[in-house]
Amino acid sequence: MNETFVLSAVVVAMLAVTLPWAKRRLELSLAKHPSLTGHSRMAKRVASMLPGYAYDATRFFNSDHAPVAVVARRRAGLARLTSLYAERYARSLALTTQAAEGLSDLQFTGAYRVPFQYSPYLRQQLRVASFVRESAGVTITDLDGNVFYDLTGSYGVNVFGQDFYKQCIAEGSARAQALGPLLGSYHPCVVDNIARLREISGLDEVSFHMSGTEAVMQAVRLARYHTKRTHLVRFCGAYHGWWSDVQPGPGNPDTPHATYTLKEMDGDSLRVLRTRRDIACVLVNPLQALHPNKGAPGDTSLVDSARRAAFDRVAYTAWLHQLREVCTQRGIVLIFDEVFLGFRLAPGGAQEYFGVRADLVTYGKTLGGGLPVGVVCGRKALMKRFREDRPADICFARGTFNAHPYVMAAMQVFLEQLDTPAVQAIYHGLDERWNARAAQLNRRLQEAGLPVQVANLSSVWTVFYTQPSRYNWMLQFYLRAQGLALSWIGTGRLIFSLNYRDADFDEVVNRFVSAAQEMQADGWWWHDATLTDKAIRRGILRELWAHRS
């Protein structure tokens, strides 16, 4: 054997080993969304380098180089809102200020309502109160007696209206009263809940947890345990709680090493699922159908008018079928994370709505009947946490408050209510009703010549803006002034409870349109031909560059 032959053999052997690896690596890269959201590590690096800077009292109003007269209207508009908020929300604001000093959560949400450049000046002028005292029907009342239409949906918990949950909690508490908060043993109502959840999910077994985040953690842990594979696949932009492995990008100081973030609704991702051997599970949050591959649309990132959303039920259904097929072929566990959407679209949740069955399903939020909960439903083989043949090989999952009697009893009432004719009637024609309502608002906005539209997935809505502007985030403050309550992410997500009657909704439409008209009159939506979304983004990049340290 001469040396050349040996060398060639070594090279061929090396290529044989490395080429398949390189091919799989390339496929993985192709399956990443080209945005920063699709590249978690890079996004984290970029986020850590982003310099902080703030607009002063001049730049705040003319960051888009609006004419002097427009700037004056904006100033007057903000001054009017400032005094209106200070007068109308005096007590609620005073308590918010008092609490914020010792409540880190309030400091965080207060700082991240609008793009960071505008936040410090705006907070000096206009603060949003975070205390309320009552809820009834579709409204909430603050400490000053102001009544707001509730568009927050309590982070998605409120599907059937606050009174419904008050009833679940009151009746549930009465049922649990004799046992009290005794933990470890179960209240008999747990048996009912198991039976009903098995029916609803079409799956064999159930486990109870304390939050949606914990339910997702447990579902992924079970998938890893049973498949003996390491990686979870999540889709770009999807939220699954705040556990490290499902939040690999900015916001998490850890760097999870066993998470792939892939493009949703894309053949490249299916190729990765078809070829890699290290994938234990695929996590799907069906809410992403409204804005695939994009993160939750909060107003803090509303720097221009690029935000768009559109729900295509047929396309998303086809995607879920493709996922189901490849997961079945490859022995990958398909997990539907229905913590947000479960029970909102159909009594059987997203599985029923899209007609696709998952191997594990997580629920939470509304299922607790107003109390905190997380639930995993799954196929028997996947839910097992131990092995008879390897007694020390277990998949541990316990939590002090799991199956808390008061939560279980409130859940029992919730599940019983689902079967009542009144709740069944709510589901009848649900999509048609909410699509018609979205169309109604869009028509009114269009007729009024306002640069605002909404997109919806049934009763979950997002607002988008049809002409370039740097100030779209101001709309949230005009909406609040019109008595529409929004969550801290502002116009990015409006969540309606399903007990909205037409008359309530008509009132919301009137107020929404009035808010947008006021904002327009105050000049925030001024624009000229040079003000494009691209120009806005370039301008911001120049500012970032100038403030680099």
Interface ranges with ligand PLP (CB under 6 A):
155, 211-213, 216, 239-241, 285, 337, 339-340, 364
The residue at minimum Cβ distance from ligand PLP is: 212
Nearest Cα to 357, choosing from 215, 202, 195?
A: 202
- Choice between 104 and 549, CB closer to ligand PLP: 104
- Choice between 155 and 386, CB closer to ligand PLP: 155
264, 319 Cβ separation under 8 angstroms = yes
DSSP 170: H
- Choice between 210 and 413, CB closer to ligand PLP: 210
Helix (H/G/I), strand (E/B), else coil: 88: helix
Structure tokens at 157: 């918990």
Q: Closest approach of Cβ 56 to ligand PLP, in Å?
A: 36
CA distance 358 to 490: 32
Q: Closest approach of Cβ 218 to ligand PLP, in Å?
A: 12
- Choice between 378 and 451, CB closer to ligand PLP: 378
SS (H, E, C) 176-187: HCCCCCCCCCCC
Q: Phi and psi for 415 in degrees, rounded to 5?
A: -70, -35
Structure tokens at 184: 């470890």
Q: Closest approach of Cβ 207 to ligand PLP, in Å?
A: 15
- Choice between 241 and 523, CB closer to ligand PLP: 241
Q: Closest approach of Cβ 372 to ligand PLP, in Å?
A: 7
Q: Closest approach of Cβ 351 to ligand PLP, in Å?
A: 14
Residue 317 burial by Cβ neighbours in a 10 Å radius (0-12, 13-18, 19+):
middle
- Choice between 34 and 251, CB closer to ligand PLP: 251
CA distance 203 to 428: 24
Q: Closest approach of Cβ 234 to ligand PLP, in Å?
A: 11
CA distance 351 to 193: 19
Helix (H/G/I), strand (E/B), else coil: 389: coil
Residue with tokens 């945005």: 35
Nearest Cα to 153, choosing from 387, 403, 498, 456?
A: 498
Angle at which helix 405-418 crosses helix 162-176, to 10 degrees, equals 130
Angle at which helix 90-100 crosses helix 104-111, to 10 degrees, equals 120
360, 384 Cβ separation under 8 angstroms = no
CA distance 321 to 313: 12
What Cα–Cα distance (Å) separates residue 155 from each residue in 174, 186, 295?
26, 29, 15
- Choice between 216 and 262, CB closer to ligand PLP: 216
Q: Closest approach of Cβ 204 to ligand PLP, in Å?
A: 22
- Choice between 339 and 356, CB closer to ligand PLP: 339
- Choice between 294 and 511, CB closer to ligand PLP: 294
Q: Closest approach of Cβ 385 to ligand PLP, in Å?
A: 21
Q: Closest approach of Cβ 457 to ligand PLP, in Å?
A: 13
- Choice between 167 and 211, CB closer to ligand PLP: 211
Q: Closest approach of Cβ 333 to ligand PLP, in Å?
A: 16
CA distance 496 to 426: 13
Residue with tokens 């918990």: 157
- Choice between 237 and 468, CB closer to ligand PLP: 237
CA distance 37 to 34: 8
Q: Closest approach of Cβ 458 to ligand PLP, in Å?
A: 15
132, 141 Cβ separation under 8 angstroms = yes
Q: Which strands, in side-by-side order, build the sheet including 139-142? A: 132-136, 139-142, 147-150, 484-485
95, 143 Cβ separation under 8 angstroms = yes
SS (H, E, C) 400-435: CCCCCHHHHHHHHHHHHHHCCHHHHHHHCCHHHHHH
- Choice between 256 and 468, CB closer to ligand PLP: 256
DSSP string, 347-362: TTHHHHHHT---SEEE
CA distance 346 to 419: 12
Q: Closest approach of Cβ 516 to ligand PLP, in Å?
A: 28
Nearest Cα to 473, choosing from 460, 461, 483, 464?
A: 464
Q: Closest approach of Cβ 219 to ligand PLP, in Å?
A: 10
- Choice between 350 and 455, CB closer to ligand PLP: 350
Q: Closest approach of Cβ 155 to ligand PLP, in Å?
A: 6
- Choice between 283 and 513, CB closer to ligand PLP: 283
